[in-house]
Amino acid sequence: MNINLHIERLVLDGLPLEHRQGPHLLAAIEQELGRLLSQAEAPARLGAGRHATRVDAGTIQVAERADPAGVGRQIAVAVYRGVGGRP
Q: Which of 35, 39, 33, 34 is nearest to 57 (CA)?
A: 33
Residue 71 confidence (pLDDT): 94
Q: How confident is the model over 12-21, as pLDDT tens digits?
A: 888 888 889 9
Question: Going along the chain, which residue ranges are E strands?
Answer: none
pLDDT tier, 27 (very low <50, low <70, confident <90, very high otherwise):
very high
Asked whether the predicted pLDDT for residue 72 surpasses 90, the reply is: yes
Entry pTM: 0.80
